[in-house]
Amino acid sequence: MSGRVYQLQDLISREILDADAAQPAILAVIGCPVAHSASPAMHQPALDVRGMEGRYIRLEVPIGRVTEALQRLQQLGFVGANVTVPHKFAALDACHQVDDAAREIGAVNTVKFLHGETHGYNTDGPGFAQAIAEEFGTGLSGLRVMIVGAGGGAGQAIATQCAREGAQRVILVNRTVEKIQSLRDRLARRFESTQFHALAIDDPQLPSVAKQCQLLVNTSSLGLKAGDASPIDPACFASHHWVYDTIYQPPRTTFLRLAEEAGAHVANGFSMLLHQGVLAFDHWYPGQAPLEVMRAGLRSVS
């Protein structure tokens, strides 16, 4: 599998894009940066096992040029693309049609080109729900959930999914509380049966509020680098918790290690990455996503 990262100038023509390649590029992940993306490891084997002649590529797209990139992909006959940070919000505006989940979240992470139009979806939220079911054997309905780093795209997607599935309470936690107050207000208006609260990450009430929750989720980037501290104090963790970190590399962050030491059940973001990818593939090729093939592909690089 090629580790090459393509640039916008490679989308000028098929001759340039597919030079020296045995198969044409038909799917892509766009981001900035994008070299680290594990998406090709699950989507290329899926294409191969289904006998679909094509490549899944990484495409580096500068900020402000998402619409241009999607237009070029469509003109070259691509089936669709995944969208990763920092382009998920811009991708929403670049789409002709957007499904309800993506509209509520305010971000698109999957696009499909169909009949000359760009259709946008968000599989982060549903992928998270499936990950929690797989890891902890529970749905989100009725749960009390704390989301750390809720101001980012993943945090908003997960908060919205929790509300869509009937969570009892969602605690939004962020370094800057002002950044999540508008999200809290918007979700509270849309989902009246779920209680929403916004707390700063250094709020002294955080440990006691965390103890009242059942599921704690880290959606911040703290933990990506070796030696990163946990985004929340060790006093927040308890043995009754399910604790999920959306980071999958490294597989055991300080956040998860501290939770484990407190006796909590823990899991990393591998399962969310997998399930959101499976849902994306099903948008491109309905009913064709080979779950276990994609799982094995991700395992090979994790």
Instruction: Specify the 3-state DSSP secondary structure of 252.
Output: coil
**Which tokens sit at 134?**
């797989």
- Specify burial of residue 137 (Cβ count, 10 A radius: 0-12, 13-18, 19+): exposed
The residue assigned the tokens 């679909």 is 52
Of the candidates 31, 92, 91, which has an alpha carbon nearest to the alpha carbon of residue 57?
A: 31
The Cα–Cα gap between 2 and 4 comes to 5
Q: Which of 88, 179, 211, 225 is catalytic?
A: 88
- How many residues belong to the chain? 302
Give buried/exposed letters for 28-49 (b at 16+ CB in 10 A, else e).
bbbbbebeebbbbbbbbbbbbe
Strand-pair partners of 174: 200
Known active-site residue 88: yes
Eight-state DSSP code of residue 50: T
The Cα–Cα gap between 282 and 263 comes to 37
- Which residues carry out catalysis? 88
